[in-house]
A and B are shown apart, each in its own frame.
Chain A
Amino acid sequence: MRRFVVALIAAAVAILLLALSGAAFGHSPRELLALLVEGSIASRFAIEGTLLKSVPLLLTGLAVVVAFRAGVWNIGAEGQFIVGALAALLAARWGVAAALIASMLAGAAWASIATAMRMWRNAPEVLTTILLNFIAIHLLGWCVNGPLQEHEQRYPQTDAIDASLPSIGNLHAGIAIAIVASIVAWWLLYRTAEGLRLRATGFNPFAAKWAGIHVNAQIVRAMAVSGALAGLAGGIELAGVTHRLFERFAAGYGYSGIAVALLANLHPLATILSAAFFGALATGAGELQRTAGISSAVSTFGQAVVMLVLILFSAIEEKRWSR
């Protein structure tokens, strides 16, 4: 409960600071706040935009939750997202289900490269997953400028795929998939013996090992599931929204997943709310850019503020504990 309040405060402080910072660009805070709300939740169109933005955030957020719960610092959701989308593109000719399955397998495989290096030479996954992000980003860049470029060869992008997620209006079935995924993740983590062991591994790998838990197996599995979720996010974004790949396809969804997961205090169900919040923030920031000419990068600023407030609170808490 206290955690929930802290998260609410962090979110509120972020919005408040965003609004206040507008003063620096000659806008009144109230005006900015109104624009944020208008652009994110005030109309049917805005809500749709928010929901669509929330889907990839929810899945990458879950990816981070699963890995962090096992004590592995998967910073590579961005790369897994891209690789997942690439695999989905290639498998799309066999239908949308094949595309999504391919995206999960590719994401899991990409994340598992980091696990393999950890097992082989004890390479820290914080480093390897970030480096794998760069490789994935450049792989995508090469693909859309080379072998996978559209037939007209005009823009650095692929042809549109035919496969598409079933949808109602603009809203595609990925929303349902993402919510089901969070419920399944919650169930696996909190209602199964393996989930208990995964969490124990994350909290205290020494005690887990002494209790007879196969710590390495937990890490391998958590990383694979995490990669699969991030890959699925990429596959859904492709099959549900963009239908084609281009260089800036990932748009930071993987990194934002970290903020989503932390605001949710690494809880799979809270991640739904957290993703919706950041989704709204990103959509609202788009409105700021269109109407007030403020760069939509302010949503990244919002993420940073949320993280800083959360860190501040946990530092205060730690101080209280140590007294």
Chain B
Amino acid sequence: MLAVDDVSLTVGGGEIVAIVGENGAGKTTLMRIAAGELAADAGTIERSGTPSLVHQHFMLVGELSIAENLALTQRDRFRFATRSTIEREATRVIDESGIELRDVTRRVDELSVGEKSKLELIKAISRKPSTLILDEPTSVLTPREAEDLFRVMRTLAANGTAVVFISHKLPEVLAIADRIVVMRRGAIVPTSAKTPNELAHAMVGDLMERQLPAGRSAGFQPALVDENLVVHKSEIVAIVGVAGNGQTEVAARLRDRLDAASSGHIPEDRTRDGIVAEMTIAENLALTAKRWSPRQAARHADRMIELYSIRARSSAQRAGDLSGGNQQKVILARELDRHPDVIVAAEPTRGLDIEATHFIHDRLRSAAAAGAAILLITSDLDEAFALADAVQVIYRGKLSERLTPADAQMRVAGLMAGLA
């Protein structure tokens, strides 16, 4: 199968172009070719200046500070610079970008995922590229941060920069893009879609028939109790909040505290914590299995590939070669198939397309229907409201009281900003 096949795309200066499509549709591959990171087997690229690509996965040096990471992008300028010059310059670059990121002396390892993505964006903008390509820029941002980003994008476009961005969030695509390009299975789909629904149709072909949410009944006994957090059997509780308010710590604490045999964990950083890239899909699926034989594992993996519609050549494929959405499905399959009593899912659909998101939501719902207690940690409010029986807001490491979804809709914005 080809990742990208016979695609022709022109982007002019001052234009904002959105590229939408399912996981594995070839969006990232196409953009990496355009940016010169990957070589195409055939075809030509014409461009003025070098495009700057902001990756879905971070390209940062964890051991260095924010300021040092920014200085790395302009190595020639900072050959003999002192620490204070680098930090002053970094602060200036950040201010200029219009993106909020405080304290440039912090080590990148210590930043939250949301902050890391901001830093990536600042890095790209600081190069003053003629073309800026953003891969899933809003997937880790709060609505307000996303608004800020759009403002930055518009300013850049107004100054003549061509802006290309990959996104799964159709409303925002419609709101900001001058032009929308839909990709499906490595090709561009001609479309004149004007609404999210039409776009979704163009992306997935025929929208699969959606399962209705499984009926859930709360009121079972508590399965997970942690400080002021309670999750009952068959219940989904969502922790929402702006990235970097202690969500990562909650997930890590629960991982260490809960019994590994009866709990499933979907980590926030799927490439670092979720899969073992060097191992095969079958091996990744068997990590927690009681027994291991290659043949049996391959059979099991084939079943999981089918059941979780993982798009892979075979169960012997390296997990690291899968697209983000398919890696996530591998993790989901591994963690859910053991039927754990408690599931902690952190940002389970970050960066995934609609189809994969629906799929994962359905799986989580049916796991709850089957009796699992699910703690959903997410910065995507739509996701929280789509799934949760109860919502708690996290702000500076503290959890709010338990809210019903209806209450939460009224109060969540204030709580997230620390106002309540």
Contacts and interface: CB of A to CB of B under 8 A. Distances in A.
A196 B265 contact: no
Interface residues of A, number: 21
B276 A212 contact: no
Interface stretch (B13-21, B189-197, B288-296): B288-296
B244 interface: no
Interface in B262-303: 263, 265, 267, 272-279, 283, 286-294
Interface in A203-233: 203-204, 206-214
Would you call the interface of chain B mostly helix, strand, loop, or mixed?
Answer: loop
B272 A196 contact: no
A267 interface: no
A213 B279 contact: no
Given A210-B273, A210-B274, A191 B292 contact: yes
Given A200-B283, A207-B272, A193 B290 contact: yes
Please indicate which of the listed interface residues B276, B283, B290 has the most CB atoms of chain A within 10 Å of its own CB. B276
B39 interface: yes
A209 B273 CA distance: 8
Contacts of A190: 294
Contacts of A207: 267, 272-276
A197 interface: yes
A211 B278 contact: no
B292 A212 contact: no
Contacts of A196: 283, 286-287, 289, 292
A204 B277 contact: yes
Nearest to A190: B294
A200 B276 contact: yes
Interface residues of B, number: 28
A208 B255 contact: no
Interface in A31-82: none
A154 interface: no
Contacts of B277: 203-204
Would you call the interface of chain A mostly helix, strand, loop, or mixed?
Answer: helix
A172 interface: no
A196 to B, nearest CB: 5
B45 to A, nearest CB: 15
Interface in B143-182: none
Contacts of B267: 207, 210
B290 A212 contact: no
Given A195-B292, A203-B278, A208 B287 contact: yes
Nearest to B275: A207
Contacts of B291: 193
Please indicate which of the listed interface residues A192, A211, A213 has the most CB atoms of chain B within 10 Å of its own CB. A211
A273 to B, nearest CB: 22
Interface in A12-34: none
Contact of B278 (A191, A193, A204): A204
B275 A209 contact: no
Given A209-B255, A212-B265, A193 B279 contact: no
B61 interface: no
Contacts of A203: 276-279
A203 B283 CA distance: 12
Given A204-B272, A207-B276, A323-B39, 18 more contacts: A191-B292, A191-B293, A193-B289, A196-B283, A196-B287, A197-B287, A199-B279, A199-B283, A203-B276, A203-B279, A204-B275, A204-B277, A206-B273, A210-B273, A211-B265, A212-B260, A213-B260, A213-B288
18 contacts: A195-B292, A196-B289, A200-B279, A200-B283, A204-B275, A204-B278, A206-B273, A207-B275, A207-B276, A208-B276, A208-B287, A210-B265, A210-B274, A211-B265, A212-B261, A213-B288, A214-B260, A323-B38
Interface of A: 190-193, 195-197, 199-200, 203-204, 206-214, 323
